[in-house]
Amino acid sequence: MNYSPLILSLKIASISTVIVFIVGLLISRWLARRDFFGKTIIESIILLPLVLPPTVVGFGLLMLFGKNGPIGSLLLNLFDIQIVFTWLGAVIAAIVVSFPLMYQSASAAFQKYDHNLENAALTMGASKWRVFWTISFPLAWPGLLAGLVLSFARGLGEFGATLMIAGYIPNKTDTIPMAIYFAVETGQTDVAKFWVIIIVALGFSTIMWLNWWSKRNMMKYVTKK
């Protein structure tokens, strides 16, 4: 059995999750406290991949990162980096489809707690950076963690957009969902069953851990009160 789909899927999901977490944290924090003309439009664009078919998202990425696309041609000419039909394309696809989940969770987390705690710290002379790391981030952490876990699970299971921009190249872009699809297409039912069990186990374990952690921390909160 070739285990490259498992290794590649974990690699892609991990890299995309780190990027999504950092960018989602910054953008959600910036937008959560601001009201301005066009904010609804920006948030709608961020959440758009949630309602679009994955193939549409993949087609858009293909137009952007293809050899003749604005970003793809720039990367190819300046840095000799090709995105299409590489694992980097799979990472980009995972980032785009999982980012809305991270943004929603982070945005809700930053709006949920009492902002007077931050204001009190600022009036006492604490810098914004210190307030963020000592007050805002810890208070928002449960929601941020939920977004982190869901983003990882979504990146792990991404198929449609990945197929469009990365294709199926054994040992290069053959993630678990791709391996399942093409195993079924070629009549390798046993191989498909194996990878289905693996990805279901990974997804189930991820959600179970998140639920356990949430309940555990809720019990701590209730006990403290």
Domains and CATH numbers, the chain: 4-175 (1.10.3720.10)
Helix-helix angle 39-47:87-112, to 10 degrees: 130
| 163-187 pLDDT, tens digit each | 999 999 988 899 999 999 999 999 9
Is 67 within 8 Å of 81 (Cβ atoms)? no
| 82-121 pLDDT, tens digit each | 999 999 999 999 999 999 999 999 999 988 887 788 888 8
Tally Cβ neighbours within 10 Å of residue 70: 11
pTM metric for this prediction = 0.90
